[in-house]
Structure 1
Amino acid sequence: MKRHIPVITDTDKRLPYYLIDVGSTWSQEHVVRPVGYMYQWIQCVEGEGELITGGNTFRLKEGMAMLLLKGIPHEYYAISSSWIVDWIVFDGHQVGPFIEHNAGIESSCALYVSRPDLFLSHIQNALEILQSDRPLQGIQCSKVVYSLLTDMVQYASAHPDHSATSLNHKLKPLFDYIEENFHKPLTLELMAEITGFSPQHLCTVFKKTTNNRIFQYIHSVRIKKSKELLLANPHMQIKEIAAWAGFEDANYFCTVFKKLEQISPNQYRKIYLG
């Protein structure tokens, strides 16, 4: 078993993400925390365990992990003869917003992990940093925590094969279709048919995968294309660009453009072309 608790300075605590504790190949004991603790990622390496939190009981097997949110009561324990885990404890003023807004996780839970090797490598990397004589260990460990969180968004989910990466792969035909047909009318029914999802399920999956509603994404693609045309054709009228980009109304195009870019199409063209 390996464990390392770093010295945490005031400078470290001002980082958006910082490491508090890390361990690997740990024979997990029974833990009860009535008032919770810091943010924790605890990954099952061997055996099985159970997590009780928020009135729910989760069973964790190899290839799964639990994410425990700061200050949330929880209990976890082995249900096999031994339960081996790797874990990392962290905090920082951006951790909570990142987990809620980027990962879409609002409560402590168990997660299926499609690439468990990535998370184990982050934990080993943190241990190596802390056991070395490298300078600025707090900064380096902050990078490890951030990398773990971004991988959590991509490769972890509450249901098997529902990670953002898996869902992104399922949506690729739709992304390709939007890219090629952005200038045409795009209905929810048509897009659902392309993916094989129902319209309602497509909206749910798309939001989870991209953190955007589907028509927000279409607007982003259309505005990107309009920006290319604004610069490539400096004498083309705005209403022509709006129509080419898939907007029926030029005023609406200008409204969407300004909302996304904070400037008007004409101002954008002037900034880049003078």
Structure 2
Amino acid sequence: MDTINFMKASLIKITFDYANTFHCEYLELPYFNHPWHFHPEIELTLILEGNGTRYVGNNISRFTNGDLVLLGSGLPHLWESDRTDFKSNQKGAKAVVLQFSKDLTDTNFKNSAELHALSILLKKADRGLLFSKKFSAQVTPKLIEISKTSGLRKWTLVFELFCLLTETKDYIPLTNLHYEPNLKSRDSTVINNIFEYVRLNFKNKITLDDIAGIAHLSKPAFCRYFKKKTSKSFIDFLNAYRIGHAKNLLRDKPHMTIGNIAFESGFPSIQHFNSKFKKYENLTPKAYRKKWAQSS
């Protein structure tokens, strides 16, 4: 998992039918490519089918089938399918998303002893919680059923799911302990434009002049802006993105040479790639590939 101090995100207003406390949707799409966004509702996302990169707060990680993440209120996030999937007209990206208001435990059942464990879990979810594939497989049928159900039966299923979530310890936090989203919607257009430019051009040389132009700022002003908003330099962010792509290639293309992977990930030389990879992952690309092969 790569961790970065990330960027501003778009505020997404989720339209709720307030006759229903829980909003659960089964999604079937050509690919995942929703803008980097946040919302006040708590969210549980299950990826049924799809591969790509997941961004939660200041964390960048790979996602595959069975990815199950609990997101706290206001935590920015994005699931982005691999670029190879973008060319397909088939609906190869499938997910179930359950959303509900934080008022469920903050207001509606604030003094309920029965929901104390749930309140603790949702507080932990402020950092984003990634559950194991084993636990994900256990709750997948229930989430799918919730997406197809209404009325009191939906409430019953959701609270059964809550019980399972509070009883397991099979999860890890995604963001840094001291990560706090600093979100203002007015920054969203600038930051999403920068993010999209990186996604489309990371294999090529990207200069500070290029990216400052996207932000409509001078180079010194852009560097100050990005550092202030993310506590990271733009170069650090770009390197983390490229390393994430390289890790995908190291895992998914075992016969691709390290040199070709460096080039395909936007690094100018294999020496530079090896140096940056070891800095971010604490091992060389060759050692990373070997470790992955042994564990799979």
TM-score, normalising length: structure 1: 0.45
Higher Cα Rg, which structure: 1
TM-score, normalising length: structure 2: 0.42
